Amino acid sequence: MAVLLKRTLGLACLVCLLAQAMNASTFYVDVNSTNSTQPFLGWSTAATNIQDAIGVANAGDLVLVNDGIYSTGGGPVNNSGVTNRVAVNKPVTVQSVNGPAMTVIEGDGGTRCVYLADGATLTGFTLTKGTAFFAPWLFYGYDNNNYGGGVWCESISATVSNCVISGNYAFDSGGGVYGGTLYNCSLSNNALGPSGLGGGGAIFSTLNNCTLTGNNANGADGGGGAAYSTLNNCTLTNNACMFPAGGAYFCTLNQCRLTGNVCAEFGGGAAYSTLNDCALTGNLSGEFGGGAAYSTLNNCTLTGNYTDGPGGGGGAASCTLNNCIVCDNNASDNPNFDDYSTLNYCCAIPLPTNGVGNITNVLLFVDEANGNLRLQSNSPCINAGNNVYAPPGPDLDGNPRIAGGTVDIGAYEFQNPASVISYAWLQQYGEPTDGSADYADLDGTGMNNWQKWLAGLNPTNPASILAVLTPVAANKPPGLVVTWESVDTRTYFLQRSTNLAAQPAFFTIQTNIVGQAGTTSFTDTNAIGSGPFFYRVGVGR
């Protein structure tokens, strides 16, 4: 009976959904229509401007737009000062028939191209010549009059897809776009005024698979390409700003490419941002941090960036870099990274002193001169990162971020490593990287290469072992002092047993013990009495 009831309810829900879908209407727009007649339910009676069709549409409806340039109609939404060529003030979809190359929405000196309300969608248009500029000397609080020259979205629930947003202007923020979620869009040559929050291309937006090219934040706070946005798999090229961040300002960037962005202050590629799996190449800043400044970068590659200022850090300045390649950047002082940056598990020149696990080697990119920054099959960066810092998503190519058990250094993961050991480590000791020596015990210590690599030991030195020394009784505090041979690039955990026949025999008594160069000690204050006490040490990273 219950099953029957569930099935009946499920069927009823399905019928309701179908009925709702069937109730959605399509309204037609054709700029060349000669018989425009409400309610615009066919091509023969299509509206000549998009706004008229939106006026008769209801939530969930589709407004279908034929080829042409749409440069009339529209109005201000919510009594704002800026007129919108198309004001999508309800959750409908406005879609072109043949895409952005054939369908253009034009603003003008006092008209934004498009306004999108919550839940509205715009697909397949070119938006150009839009302007968001009204009474800048007045501040009305929540003022959308100077935001989003191309499109102003009420929230990220408004969607823009497959659009070209080019040559728009906003006085304050978001020359191309303000808000919204964008898919497969191109934002180019949009600009801001002499002051404002920033984002020549976009601000407060989520951009997926988008390109941002030649946008300019001019005198705004920062972000020639984007500001206060999340960018996934986007390309930022030749964007500019007079202040910080030619490319991205206060953004999160995942799997993005930042190239040739320029700013007069710091962070030619990005400033105050978090970058995961990104490549920053050929960016330029006037003061410091040609690639990035005041940012956190995980698994990024920075090369060919430049700063002109005395602060240095052609690649990065005042940044935290993990699993990153920082090489071949340029500056008069500290060409790759400045003294205020911290690098962990990075490949950089010179070998960083702020941070742990770094290497400085010949990088072996596939073709650096032509911008192919993928790793050659014998690159020392393979398996040389730390999984703790690996971003959760794919690498810059969309491939799995970790291959072979340990993340690589840099934006691209080499997908089929022959060895599971850090190539830099193997090469350091003259060992092959083809996997043949992974489990060899070269020095007869009973520890193979893989174990010695995990423990940070020298595979060719019999004295370099992970061994527990004889514990010593302590009085203050009472207990046993356990000491083992260690390195300062590893953390350790310590386990104790009082009965080796028990199952399990050992219990962890302390984790995350930071290793010291030479030996490390831990006082087990619970080891009181006659014992016996047995100890073993494990390696963390």
Residues interacting with another protein, by CB under 8 A? Answer: 55, 75-81, 87, 89-90, 117-118, 134-135, 138, 140-145, 154
C-alpha R_g of the chain: 30
Residue 189 CB, shortest distance to another protein, in Å, is 28
140 vs 507, beta carbon nearer another protein: 140
| 3-class SS of residue 230 | strand
Encoded amino acid at 170, one letter: A
87 vs 127, beta carbon nearer another protein: 87
Residue 160 CB, shortest distance to another protein, in Å, is 17
Name beta bridge partners: 316.
292, 337
Q: What's the rounded Cα separation, in Å, for the pair 480 and 519?
A: 16
Residue 516 CB, shortest distance to another protein, in Å, is 57
From 208, 158, 162, 194, select the one nearest 178 (Cα to Cα): 158
Residue in this structure with the two tokens 């300002």, named with its chain if needed:
249
From 21, 97, 28, select the one nearest 56 (Cα to Cα): 28
Residue 117 CB, shortest distance to another protein, in Å, is 5
83 vs 383, beta carbon nearer another protein: 83
Residue 157 CB, shortest distance to another protein, in Å, is 12
DSSP assigned state of 275? E
Residue 52 CB, shortest distance to another protein, in Å, is 11
108 vs 434, beta carbon nearer another protein: 108
146 vs 276, beta carbon nearer another protein: 146
Q: What's the rounded Cα separation, in Å, for the pair 153 and 2?
A: 46
119 vs 393, beta carbon nearer another protein: 119
Residue 16 CB, shortest distance to another protein, in Å, is 17
78 vs 387, beta carbon nearer another protein: 78
Residue in this structure with the two tokens 């009204």, named with its chain if needed:
134
66 vs 121, beta carbon nearer another protein: 121
178 vs 414, beta carbon nearer another protein: 178
Handedness of CA 445, 446, 448, 453 (dihedral sign): negative
Residue 266 CB, shortest distance to another protein, in Å, is 34
Structure tokens at 372: 């192919």
Residue 147 CB, shortest distance to another protein, in Å, is 12
The verdict on whether omega for the bond into residue 350 sits within 30 degrees of 0, i.e. cis, is yes
141 vs 444, beta carbon nearer another protein: 141
Residue in this structure with the two tokens 């962990």, named with its chain if needed:
344
35 vs 78, beta carbon nearer another protein: 78
Angle at 518 between CA 515 and CA 519, to 5 degrees: 60
Structure tokens at 205: 């937006």
Q: What's the rounded Cα separation, in Å, for the pair 375 and 279?
A: 13
Residue 115 CB, shortest distance to another protein, in Å, is 9
Name the region of 55 (left: φ>0; alpha: ψ -120 to 50; beta: rest). alpha
Structure tokens at 468: 């527990």
Q: What's the rounded Cα separation, in Å, for the pair 206 and 187?
A: 13
Residue 114 CB, shortest distance to another protein, in Å, is 13
Q: Write 428-433 long-range contacts (CB < 8 A, 24+).
A: 429/458, 429/459, 429/460, 431/459, 433/378, 433/382
Q: Which helix (H) or strand (E) holds 479?
A: strand 479-486
For residue 356, the tally of other CB atoms under 10 A from its CB is: 14
Burial of 22 (0-12, 13-18, 19+ CB in 10 A): exposed
Encoded amino acid at 382, one letter: I
Residue 42 CB, shortest distance to another protein, in Å, is 23
DSSP assigned state of 355? S
Residue 5 CB, shortest distance to another protein, in Å, is 27
117 vs 163, beta carbon nearer another protein: 117
| 3-class SS of residue 259 | strand
Strands (E), 396-475: 472-474
Residue 229 CB, shortest distance to another protein, in Å, is 22
141 vs 430, beta carbon nearer another protein: 141
156 vs 418, beta carbon nearer another protein: 156
- Residue 103's φ and ψ, nearest 5 degrees, are -135, 115
Structure tokens at 167: 């040559």
